Structure 1
Amino acid sequence: MSLRYGIQLPVQSQSTIYAETWEADAGPEDLLAVARTADRAGFAYLASCDHVAIPRRLASAMSTVWYDPVATLAFLAAATGRIRLLSHVAVVGLRHPLLTAKQFATLDHLSNGRLILGVGAGHVREEFEALGVDFERRGSALDESIDALRAALGPDEFPEHHGRLYDFEGLGQRPRPAQEQVPVWVGGSSPAAVRRAALKGDGWLPQGDPRERLPAQIARIRRLREEAAVEGPFVIGAITEPLYVGKPGWDVGRRTVAKDAEELAESLRAYRAMGVHQVQVRIRCRSRAELTDQIEAFGTEVAPLL
């Protein structure tokens, strides 16, 4: 089986950990250009992050630029035709599941079934407090939210869920998702997040796990699913090191894997050998043009070798 590849969108989140300097002055046209190029280049998905507001104490590292994922992905859905739309990740515990379901069901409907709902617990305490949500219970809120969202995004016009935090029935929601079952990928690399992904998700989105840590995490997921007799397909993901196709001619950083197509493909095939199904690539670039050129090069030169 070929290794699938997706990409986190630039511009829509600008944490200093990964944002390139050109993104500070970028906007909608840049997002459109990147999305259309990735669609043509065979990328499996576009991903968009989720934060409602960033406190001052974290703003210098995280920045305050975080586009809304539903609005962003809906905007790009109309400009693309094939590529899937991933929330990586939606902090669903910040919102009532019926509200989340309404937004993402509409996105799936309008995009003809291209949504992948990536969910996570969140980590910014002030964000939860401002919205009146218990930060300490965010894990249990996410667990129940997944169950509630399964019901609310299912085929029934009048979904039903009865839990400790959320209770609803007899409330109709349309439009329904275009997909019979919207895939739910669970993000996070803590023991609790990995367990949640294994037992409640259709896939796992690690957060910053280096290559050497992935085999043990994957083995744990498989063991947990086997012990709980969880059946059905399960997608294991990975976030690659920063990449660059070819010789950059500028300082791309010591962690960046900058190689020709064959060497880069060989490096990425190692993920597939350890049990990864899809990788999220990070491409170093100095401009939108360089990024779209790199996306095209990845799709035409590297992808056929995966």
Structure 2
Amino acid sequence: MKFTVAIPLGDITPGEFQTPDAVRTMSVALETAGIDACYVTDHPAPDAKWLHANGHDALDPFSAFAFVAAATTRLRMHTNIVVMAYRNPFLTAKSAATVQLLSGGRLILGVGAGYQKAEFEALGVDFHKRGKLFDEALKVIRQAWAGGPVEYQGTNFHAAGNEPRPAPNPSPPIWIGGGSDKAVERAARWGDGWSPFYAAPTMSQLNRDTGIHTVDQLGEKIAMLQGLRQQIGKTGRFDVAIGPKARLNYGHPGGADRFLEELRGLADVGVTWAMVEPPHPSRQAYIENVQWFGEEVVARLR
């Protein structure tokens, strides 16, 4: 089991998280704790009502990860998630390939279809075509990374012998986000991993409907996914990333016991990466929680 842990670069508390020193100290704390990867999300233009109700801010993930990569040597960087339909796929390919190249191959490109209609409208993208645009982008980004000219007639673009560079080798693994059957199908066909999420009351109705509700349901979907991969001849490593529902009692003896127990249950159904979001009332509190997690979870598990 590996761990990808949220790094709160989207938190706008003045002076706490969005400074060069904050990025360095938090990134180094994660790496020192033995954590495998950190993750950030993607919201270029979120709906203001959503943002101020129960939403979350975000820095540009690729720019932010350039700073994380420069501060570390081993820590991987995981976009959770980049919405592919927001961008021309060649622009996503360029940004991801640049981080992959200059980080020494440490990017995990988590991607999704998106769910916030107001954000699509602000970015000039048809919300109702997001599935088609997502599938198209998943196909084109692989071609862009392969090296050489690309020929592709897209919905909103036409590549007629264009040659994107760099061509990263190895290319970043692509993890498909979402819990729906369609997300499972996409992950099987196009992905190197699947990153579902638990349904929660604060989510949009769409996300509540497609989120994971139980470990048994998760196991059924993983089995379905592996069956689809076999049908289309997909082989090789495939990752599944989701965290336990159990809360960690940071800073307390035995505060990780239930979490570790649930983690073993997730491993039994095929989960390979656990996603974790430590509390961060301040930068120092975040660093202390990361250190505690390294001692009480990572060290104990390994």
The whole-number CA distance in structure 2 between the counterparts of 1:13 and 1:143 is 31
In the superposition, the TM-score normalised over structure 1's length comes to 0.84
Cα distance, 1:190 vs. partner? 1.6
2:133 pairs with one of 141, 146, 153: 141
User: Could you say what secondary structure the match of 1:65 adopts?
Assistant: coil
- Per-residue CA deviation, residues 54-95 of structure 1 (Å, 9 max, x unaligned), is 223323225572211111111111111111111111011111
Q: Structure 2 vs 1, CA of residues 174 and 232 (structure 1 numbering), >3 Å: closer, same or farther?
A: same
Q: What RMSD, in angstroms, separates the aligned Cα atoms of the two structures?
A: 2.4
Cross-structure match for 2:208: none
Q: Structure 2 vs 1, CA of residues 246 and 113 (structure 1 numbering), >3 Å: closer, same or farther?
A: same
Alignment of 1:116-135 (within 5 A): 116-135=108-127
Q: Is residue 2:248 matched to residue 1:243?
A: yes
The whole-number CA distance in structure 2 between the counterparts of 1:23 and 1:222 is 45
User: Could you say what secondary structure the match of 2:277 adopts?
Assistant: strand
Alignment of 1:86-165 (within 5 A): 86-154=78-146, 156-165=147-156
The whole-number CA distance in structure 1 between the counterparts of 2:9 and 2:244 is 19
Alignment of 1:126-275 (within 5 A): 126-154=118-146, 156-177=147-168, 179-208=169-198, 209-212=212-215, 213-241=217-245, 242-247=247-252, 259-275=254-270
Does structure 1 retain, via aligned residues, the 8 Å contact 2:9–2:40? no
User: Could you say what secondary structure the match of 2:243 adopts?
Assistant: strand
Cα distance, 1:272 vs. partner? 0.9
User: Could you say what secondary structure the match of 1:112 adopts?
Assistant: coil
Amino acid at match of 2:220: A
Does structure 2 retain, via aligned residues, the 8 Å contact 1:184–1:201? yes
Extract unaligned runs of 5+ from structure 2. 199-211
User: Could you say what secondary structure the match of 1:170 adopts?
Assistant: strand
The whole-number CA distance in structure 1 between the counterparts of 2:259 and 2:242 is 16
User: Could you say what secondary structure the match of 2:101 adopts?
Assistant: helix
Amino acid at match of 2:126: D
Cα distance, 1:48 vs. partner? 1.2
Extract unaligned runs of 5+ from structure 1. 15-21, 249-258
Amino acid at match of 2:10: Q
Amino acid at match of 1:8: A
Does structure 1 retain, via aligned residues, the 8 Å contact 2:192–2:237? yes
User: Could you say what secondary structure the match of 1:239 adopts?
Assistant: coil
- Per-residue CA deviation, residues 28-75 of structure 1 (Å, 9 max, x unaligned), is 233332211111112111111111112233232255722111111111
Amino acid at match of 1:129: E
Does structure 2 retain, via aligned residues, the 8 Å contact 1:10–1:23? no
Amino acid at match of 2:27: A
Give identity over the alignment, percent.
34
- Per-residue CA deviation, residues 3-42 of structure 1 (Å, 9 max, x unaligned), is 111112214267xxxxxxx689532233332211111112
Q: Structure 2 vs 1, CA of residues 130 and 260 (structure 1 numbering), >3 Å: closer, same or farther?
A: closer
- Per-residue CA deviation, residues 248-300 of structure 1 (Å, 9 max, x unaligned), is 8xxxxxxxxxx345554333222111210000112234332222122122223
Cross-structure match for 1:251: none
The whole-number CA distance in structure 1 between the counterparts of 2:151 and 2:80 is 26
Q: Is residue 2:287 matched to residue 1:278?
A: no
Cα distance, 1:189 vs. partner? 0.8
The whole-number CA distance in structure 2 between the counterparts of 1:160 and 1:118 is 25
User: Could you say what secondary structure the match of 1:27 adopts?
Assistant: coil
Does structure 2 retain, via aligned residues, the 8 Å contact 1:243–1:282? no
Does structure 2 retain, via aligned residues, the 8 Å contact 1:153–1:182? no
Does structure 2 retain, via aligned residues, the 8 Å contact 1:158–1:170? yes
Q: Structure 2 vs 1, CA of residues 260 and 98 (structure 1 numbering), >3 Å: closer, same or farther?
A: same
Cross-structure match for 1:9: 7
The whole-number CA distance in structure 2 between the counterparts of 1:240 and 1:304 is 18
User: Could you say what secondary structure the match of 1:185 adopts?
Assistant: strand
Cα distance, 1:191 vs. partner? 1.9
The whole-number CA distance in structure 2 between the counterparts of 1:141 and 1:130 is 17
Q: Structure 2 vs 1, CA of residues 41 and 157 (structure 1 numbering), >3 Å: closer, same or farther?
A: farther
Q: Structure 2 vs 1, CA of residues 246 and 66 (structure 1 numbering), >3 Å: closer, same or farther?
A: closer
The whole-number CA distance in structure 2 between the counterparts of 1:57 and 1:264 is 33
- Per-residue CA deviation, residues 75-133 of structure 1 (Å, 9 max, x unaligned), is 11111111111111101111111111111111111111111111101111122122221
Q: Structure 2 vs 1, CA of residues 181 and 245 (structure 1 numbering), >3 Å: closer, same or farther?
A: same
Q: Structure 2 vs 1, CA of residues 301 and 225 (structure 1 numbering), >3 Å: closer, same or farther?
A: same
